Amino acid sequence: MAIARPARPVRKRTNQYHHGDLRRALLQEAVRTIQTGGVEALTLRATGQALGVSRTALYRHFADKAALLSAVAEEGFRTLRLELVGAWDRGGRGKKGFDDMGVAYVRFAVAHPAHYRVMFGGVLTDHASHPALAVEGAAAFQVLVDALMSQQQAGLVRGDDPLQLARFIWAIVHGIARLAIDGQLHASSAETEALTRYAIGRVRTGIAPAAARQRPRASASGPGRS
């Protein structure tokens, strides 16, 4: 009965009826659980218990478990966006800033692998029913698009469709990130960062303006105008 379990999260005082800010507490606890033991460790029953609340109290604040996970993902996209903007700004909004953004992206994923998986990774199947999540995701993506357009205007990046360019860059950092956190790279975080920097170097060459390369012919992408 009187087991002295150290309770990190803010629990409801046993005498008070209302929790106060249960929604925030649930979200916090969910993020913590996911970070510690992965999504599969997240159960509504344990979450409620950790907060000193019934296992169904959650339904007053979230439609279901998927809605809670969606909120977790939103939180993740917000944090990621801030880290990307920070790297871009501190790096001088140029070549260095952009490269730093790439490193920051992969670092975020490696630092919060389970959280990153919830953001992407098919845990939430129907994005249509979580519009707020789509908005946060788009906002993070926009940071990349803006940075690319800025570099195009500065003559640092070739004048391709910025959206396609951004998808390409995103795929690279996302690919490295997922391979790393899913254990497919068999690499330490130092090796992962080395790969990231190598990739950025090669991509930098690949997206340089045509004028900076020997053959100015821009039609190397094969047949089919679609």
Partner DNA sequence: ACCTGAACACCGTTCAAGT
Residues contributing to the site for a copy of itself (CB under 8 A): 38, 99, 117, 120-122, 125, 127, 137, 160, 164, 167-168, 170-176, 178-179, 181-185, 190, 194-195, 197-199, 201-207, 212-215, 220-222, 226
Residues 46-85 interacting with DNA (rule: CB under 7 A): 46, 48, 53-57, 59-61, 64-66
Q: For residue 135, give every residue at least 6 positions away whose Cβ sits within 8 Å of its Cβ, in sequence order, or none.
A: none
Find which of a copy of itself, DNA, none residue 120 binds, CB within 5 to 8 Å per kind: a copy of itself
Minimum CB distance to DNA, residue 62 (Å): 8
Minimum CB distance to DNA, residue 40 (Å): 9
Minimum CB distance to DNA, residue 7 (Å): 15
Find which of DNA, a copy of itself, none residue 57 binds, CB within 5 to 8 Å per kind: DNA
Residues 7-26 interacting with DNA (rule: CB under 7 A): 12, 17-19, 22
Q: Does 42 contact DNA by CB under 7 A?
A: yes
Find which of DNA, a copy of itself, none residue 212 binds, CB within 5 to 8 Å per kind: a copy of itself
Q: Does 39 contact DNA by CB under 7 A?
A: no
C-alpha distances out from residue 58 to 13, 63, 64, 149, Å = 17, 8, 8, 43
Spatial distance between the Cα atoms of 125 and 49, rounded to a whole number of angstroms:
27
Find which of DNA, a copy of itself, none residue 17 binds, CB within 5 to 8 Å per kind: DNA
Spatial distance between the Cα atoms of 185 and 138, rounded to a whole number of angstroms:
28
Q: Does 5 contact DNA by CB under 7 A?
A: no
Between 9 and 170, name the residue whose CB sits nearer to a copy of itself: 170
Between 107 and 117, name the residue whose CB sits nearer to DNA: 117
List residues binding DNA (CB under 7 A). Answer: 12, 17-19, 22, 42-46, 48, 53-57, 59-61, 64-66
